[in-house]
Chains A and B, each alone.
Chain A
Amino acid sequence: MKSTSIDIARFGRRLGTRSEGASARREIVAALERLPDDGQLTLSLHGVDVVSGSFADEAIGKTCQLLTSGAYGNRTLIVTSPSADLTEDLSDKLAQRKLAVLCHVEDAAPPWRVLGQLADPLVETLHLLMERKSATTKELAESLGIAANACHNRVRHLVALHLIREERVGISAPNTQYRFHSITA
Chain B
Amino acid sequence: MELTIESIEEVLSHLYVDGGRDLDLRSVTFIDPYALLVLDLAVRDARATGRPLRVEWPTLPAVRRWMIDMRFFADTKAVSPDLPLRETGNALQPIMSIESERHVSHLVAAFERRLSERFPIDDAPRRRFLRILLELCQNIPQHSNATGDVPDPHGIAAMQDYDDGVLLAIADKGIGFRRSLALRGGMDDLRDTAAISSVVLDGISRFRDPGHGRELQRIFRLVRAWDGTIAIRSGGALLYHGPLGGDLYDVAPFPGVQIALRIPRRVFGIGEPPDGEPGVAAGGGSGFNE
Contacts and interface: CB of A to CB of B under 8 A. Distances in A.
Interface stretch (A31-39, A54-62, A129-137, A151-159): A54-62
A122 interface: no
Nearest to B203: A96
Instruction: Place the interface of chain A in its size category.
Output: 20 to 34
B127 A54 contact: no
A85 B128 contact: yes
A18 interface: yes
Given A17-B104, A17-B138, A61 B130 contact: no
Nearest to B130: A50
Helix, strand, loop or mixed for chain B's interface? helix
A16 B134 contact: yes
A18 B210 contact: no
Contacts of A50: 127, 130-131, 134
B47 to A, nearest CB: 30
A92 B105 contact: no
B218 interface: yes
Given A16-B105, A19-B101, A89 B214 contact: no
Interface string A1-37: 0000000000010101111100000000000000000
Contacts of B24: none
Contacts, number: 69
Contact of B108 (A14, A92, A96): A14
Contacts of B218: 53, 89, 92
B250 interface: no
Contact of B210 (A88, A89, A92, A98): A98
A16 B214 contact: no
B84 interface: no
Given A53-B218, A93-B211, A98-B210, A17 B131 contact: no
Interface string B212-233: 1111001000000000000000
B131 A53 contact: yes
Interface in A48-84: 49-55, 57-58, 61-62, 65
B138 A97 contact: no
Contact of A89 (B131, B212, B213): B131
A101 to B, nearest CB: 14
20 contacts: A14-B105, A14-B109, A14-B130, A16-B134, A17-B104, A17-B134, A18-B101, A50-B131, A50-B134, A52-B131, A52-B138, A53-B218, A54-B134, A54-B138, A85-B127, A85-B128, A96-B213, A96-B214, A97-B211, A98-B210
Given A18-B142, A53-B135, A98-B210, 13 more contacts: A14-B105, A17-B104, A17-B105, A17-B134, A17-B138, A53-B218, A55-B134, A85-B127, A85-B128, A89-B131, A92-B214, A93-B211, A96-B211
> Nearest 10 CB-CB pairs, A to B?
A16-B134, A57-B211, A52-B134, A50-B130, A17-B138, A17-B101, A61-B211, A85-B124, A52-B131, A97-B210
Interface of A: 12, 14, 16-20, 49-55, 57-58, 61-62, 65, 85-86, 88-89, 92-93, 96-98
Interface of B: 101, 104-105, 108-109, 124, 127-128, 130-131, 134-135, 137-138, 142, 210-215, 218
